[in-house]
Chains A and B, each alone.
Chain A
Amino acid sequence: MTFAKPKFRHPKSTKNKVGYLKSDYLGTVSTLCAGCGHDSISGAIVQACYELDIEPHKLAKLSGIGCSSKTPAYFLSNSHGFNSVHGRMPSIATGANLANKNLTYLGVSGDGDSASIGIGQFMHVIRRNLNMTYIVMNNGCYGLTKGQDSATADVGSINKTGMSNEYEPIDLAALALELGSSFVARSFSGDKTQLVPLIKAALSHPGFAFIDVISPCVTFNNNVGSTKSYDFVREHMEVTSSIDFVPHKDEITVDYQPGHRMDVELHDGSVLKLDKLAPNWNPFDRNSAIGQLQLAKSRNEVLTGLLFIDENTKDLHKKLNTVDVPLNTLNHTNLCPGQDALDKINDNLR
């Protein structure tokens, strides 16, 4: 009986611009159920970080409690990590980000962690526009405690015991839009061609970037009648736009149909190339995004892709007007400049 990932890698794997192989971004072998959507999201995170040339030690991954919050063990083994209290990942992320704004922050949470016990923290971190990527692995059930309906389960969705959910769901993407999130997207764990560029864009976004990823619970919520199963999502998936993330300076080679194409330039010079598929949708218009979400819901569709982006957003540090260097690098001399400096301040107040 053996269950260990062999050490050998593809002998022709290529290194990215910062000298790492894709396998350098892996974690330990997942202990989640075979076929769990969360593992695909982990795979997408690995792919995105490798392609974005992020140095692993310059990223911090944070999570709360739940199946989803176990996943940071399964990706980016060489990055900083913090597995916090249930629903309290946002406050840890806020503290860490305030102390060192030079790291890339990636929060991973689930529908229980974010939509139930941690919804208060979730809402406030959005309000504050903390510069982080916040991924919710949304399976509509409490997989870790054998599949009870969660707060994101749709009305009428049937769980594995055959019971239909009677409570209104919380749409986390709609909530994020409502609370002023500067980047909102929805995706599906079974569609890496969409998910990977979205994660790359989110990691490059200079404010709070939220991705709600429908991630089927293969053990407790992949049955007929569930609205979070592989089959249901594939059949009901609608897409706002196809998306391509073009890093800074790379040549653009993809051809788009005229009139549908839209480029979004990010602060670091990289470009999000969108090929619009949904009519009456404008990625810069929060109202149109909310409208599209409502429309999709009324049609029993799952709207995916980028929903909204404000590329000129002001994150928490800008709002607080902090100094340019990370706060954790400020030493005693910086913080206590001495009697002369105090005297000057006092003089100004006279």
Chain B
Amino acid sequence: MTNNSIIDEVLNLLLYLKKFSANMNPTDISNPEYFHKVVDCQYACPAHTPVPEYIRLIAAGKYNEAYMVNWESNVFPGILGRTCDRPCEPACRRGRVEEEPVAICRLKRVAADNKGDVSSYMVSGPFKSNGKKIALIGGGPASLTVARDLAPLGYEIHLYDEWHKGGGMMRTQIPAFRLPESVLDEEVNYIIDMGIHTHFNTYVSSMKEIIGKEYDAIFVGTGAPKGRNLDLPGRAEADENIHIGIDWLESVAFEHRSSVGKNVIVLGGGNTAMDCCRTSRRIGGDNVKVVVRSPFEDMKASPWEIEDAQREDIPILNNMPPKEFVVENGKLKGIIFEKVSAVYDETGRRKLIPTGEPDEFIEADDVIIAIGQDNAFPWIERDLGIEFGKWDIPVLDKKTFQSTLPHVFFGGDAAFGPENIITAVAHGHQAAISIDLFCNGKELHERPAPMVNLMGQKMGIHEWMYDSYVVVDERYKVPHEVKELSLTNRKIEVELGFDKGLGFKEAQRCFNCDVQTIFSDSKCIECDACVDICPTDCITFTENGEEMELRERLSAPSTEYNQDLYISGILPTGRIMVKDEDVCLHCGLCAERCPTAAWDMHKYLYNVTKASQVCV
């Protein structure tokens, strides 16, 4: 356990104890974070994209507007609509009420697929120069976000990348059957076309050199470019047919490699492994297997990516750590695997114990190792004042992304280790703010407040500005290309995306959690109408108490402790109104049945403030 995680544990414990200590205070809804947390999807998104807002726009057929809500917030709607890790979906309230959350990620793609020309909605250059120069090292999502946020402010931005185009790992590591090049090019170019000075085909081999060019600030967004190796007997002899996952994907993407052997073993259980095995199926691998050392349930890959691999006839063998690469006459023959089972001790720590079954040999012409990737900064000299900590990760301020050398900032995977695209974008936004504050000589920790807006939704009796009806439709499946066809060419996109009709239906599944229930103590006559109508028994009128004890007394089980209780002030009968936010459907019935409008529905828009205004 690291120091940080111990501190987190202690803070958590204190928070838990506090829940037992005193009567609850009335909820301060003027704090923008209260309602932000109620919008579970937006709260879970690292970039805090206003999800329900754009889903409503999709339902209304306003694809341009839906796209721009995304673009402002997450910069790459078309890319993320296909590839995002979607932290929003496990958080989606619908997933707590029925089986599956709203298909938020694929709805984003509906906006991107159906939009028209959106360039008129974006700020366009040339921008009036502010005389400051910024270098961005690495052309991936983090750097591109910094570029987009800073360009309109008049910064002269120099983007360095070793490849001939921008996009970084989105281009090298995500196969074309998941992300067509045209989509990638379009969204990268929106940024490049803002007047970014690109230095493509330029591998930066010395930070000292860059610093010598006297930029006002330098941003490092070079990702986690080093794929882990597996040093087992036979590794060196069979090197020709043993590949490192991310390097191999890159060589396929840039067409330096167009085939693979018939029998392929992919080692590893993450998303890179899934991309490797599926790519293999398309360039000659007839018999592709994924082998993981631990149990299937512990695989790191997203469930939908595992599903996609299995649909393409790729078996996933688990509990089999590799022991030895078998080489015959200097050529790879296969791998010998041990058989283990996972045993967990009382602290939950996993141990892989050999089962005693005989080892298994699996034949292979090619092996792809996709067991993780690491940060690597061989190009940053260690005498420049940029400190590095454990695992060669730079020492950074977690909020400002500033390194120990004040004008050097890090973001994306380069900052705290491998994450995902949406996290890189979120880092980029914050780093851009830091760089702008830094270049203006301001205090970096004074972050701009978020933009928030509450807007009443009542239009008349039974009429709201949002579609309050709650549909019971189950999650719609995204149509796929015919498997036989998609396996013939690695550039044929597998997912076809929702069409407009399916997109509308899926969009209707959204509960509109950003349309908030607002309670006014002074108007309430305690008639119980809201309590009686609430379909999910969210509302209780009762005496105040300590949080944990109060939760015991509510109308319905209140066991999601990370979901807040909305507490009113003291009402005329001495009781308080308590609303458990957990499974509120935002159907507005409490407000419909309230005779005095003590309940009302207000749309809450929360936008993380960016370094500049990028939409017009």
Interface residues of chain A, those whose CB is within 8 Å of chain B, are 1-14, 22-23, 29-30, 33-37, 39-40, 42-43, 189-190, 192, 216, 218, 222, 230-231, 234
Contact = CB atoms under 8 A, between A and B. Distances in A.
A318 B98 CA distance: 51
Contacts of B29: none
Given A4-B469, A5-B589, A37 B527 contact: yes
Contact of A35 (B467, B470, B593): B593
21 contacts: A2-B462, A3-B592, A5-B535, A6-B470, A7-B472, A8-B583, A9-B537, A10-B537, A10-B556, A30-B532, A30-B593, A35-B594, A35-B595, A36-B529, A39-B533, A40-B529, A43-B532, A189-B528, A190-B528, A222-B525, A234-B572
Given A2-B468, A34-B592, A35-B525, A10 B557 contact: yes
B535 A8 contact: yes
A296 B462 CA distance: 42
Contacts of B468: 2
Contact of A12 (B525, B557, B596): B557
B583 A11 contact: yes
B532 A234 contact: no
Nearest to A37: B527
A302 to B, nearest CB: 15
B528 A192 contact: yes
B596 A35 contact: yes
Interface string B24-51: 0000000000000000000000000000
Given A10-B536, A35-B593, A234 B573 contact: yes
B592 A39 contact: no
Nearest to A7: B472
A226 to B, nearest CB: 13
Interface string B463-486: 100011110100000000000000
B288 interface: no
B528 A40 contact: yes
A35 B596 CA distance: 8
Interface residues on B, range: 35 or more
Contacts of A190: 526-528, 573
B485 to A, nearest CB: 39
B463 A8 contact: no
Contacts of A234: 572-573
Given A6-B470, A43-B528, 8 more contacts: A2-B462, A8-B98, A8-B536, A8-B583, A11-B98, A23-B535, A39-B532, A222-B525
B559 interface: yes
B533 A2 contact: no
A5 to B, nearest CB: 5
Interface in B504-541: 525-529, 531-533, 535-538
Interface string B550-568: 0000001101000000000
Interface in B562-616: 572-573, 583, 585, 587, 589, 592-596
A39 B529 contact: yes
A43 B531 contact: yes
A160 to B, nearest CB: 14
Contacts of A42: 532
B447 interface: no
Given A8-B97, A8-B536, A33 B595 contact: yes
B96 interface: yes
B595 A34 contact: yes
A271 to B, nearest CB: 23
A31 to B, nearest CB: 11
